[in-house]
Amino acid sequence: MLAWLRQRDLKPGDHVPERLATEAFHVSRTPVRAALALLTERGLLERR
């Protein structure tokens, strides 16, 4: 997920495209949100 996010070339404050992540990884939004929560816990993402 982190590598995928880095490939998206997101800037600070940009919205993480959950729908695109679900399509890229062929999963529902639940595991995508769990992965984003983990990255947030580790200080790699910031939630607003």
Q: What would the two tokens of residue 33 be?
A: 């949100």
pLDDT at 48: 82
pTM metric for this prediction:
0.84
The 10s digit of each residue's pLDDT in 16-40 is 989 999 999 999 999 999 999 999 9
Q: How far apart are CA 23 and CA 42, in angstroms?
A: 24
CA distance 7 to 27: 19
Determine how many CB atoms are found less than 10 A away from the CB of residue 36: 19
Tokens of 15: 């919205």
What is the extent of the structural domain holding 41?
Answer: 1-7+16-48
Report whether 10 contacts 16 (CB < 8 A).
yes
What's the structural domain count of the chain? 1
Q: With H, G, I as helix, E, B as strand and everything else as coil, classify residue 17.
A: coil
